[in-house]
Amino acid sequence: MAVKPIDPLCERTRAWASLELDGELSELEGVLFHEHVRSCEECAAVVEDLRQIAVIVRTTPLAEPSRSGFGFPARAAQPRARPLAVRALVAAAVIVLAAGLGLLGNSLGGSPRAPQPANPEFAFLPLSVDRQIRGLRQVPKPKQRVAPSGRLTTVV
């Protein structure tokens, strides 16, 4: 069973239907919307269904949730404040634990991360060849000096 594609005008009108119900369409959009709804029976039916749903939703009274239905106490208990000494003790324990883990990590494996090759594209070459290639890449900087006129000149 093939699905019939929706006409772009119908798609736009159906997207605007909710905005029209809330009074949020611009004047031009409102004219285009109402003109299309008058000429398209399918869109008129969709818009009418949306209007009926909106009326039901807007006229239904809000329900108050029941606390007893969820097992909540009638009044929430206030959290007890912990004494300052307990907070300080917990903070000190966290600091000591972090320092201990740092020392343990350094004593077991040296540096925290494995050494990376200086340049990944030459990682497969022997070190002597890698140094030669790096030497080729380095272009010597020309020597420059300031002339009496204040301009920068290159010394050959």
Domain spans of the chain, in order of start: 8-59
Specify the pLDDT at position 45. Answer: 93
Question: Which residue type, as a one-letter code, is found at position 46?
Answer: V
Distance between start and end Cα atoms, the chain: 83
Which tens digit of pLDDT belongs to each residue from 73-103?
A: 555 556 666 677 778 888 888 888 888 777 7
Specify the pLDDT at position 113. Answer: 59
**Torsion on CA atoms 25, 28, 30, 36, rounded to nearest 10:** -130
Which tens digit of pLDDT belongs to each residue from 37-64?
A: 999 999 999 999 999 998 998 888 887 7
User: 123: Cβ–Cβ under 8 A, 6 or more apart, which residues?
Assistant: 117
Structure tokens at 73: 């106490």
Structure tokens at 137: 């890449």
Specify the pLDDT at position 44. Answer: 93
Structure tokens at 113: 């991360």
Which tens digit of pLDDT belongs to each residue from 94-151?
A: 888 888 777 776 666 555 555 555 555 555 556 666 666 666 666 666 677 777 877 7
Residues in the chain: 156
Cβ atoms within 10 Å of 34's Cβ, excluding its own: 14
Cβ atoms within 10 Å of 56's Cβ, excluding its own: 9
pTM over 0.85: no
The DSSP call for residue 69 is G
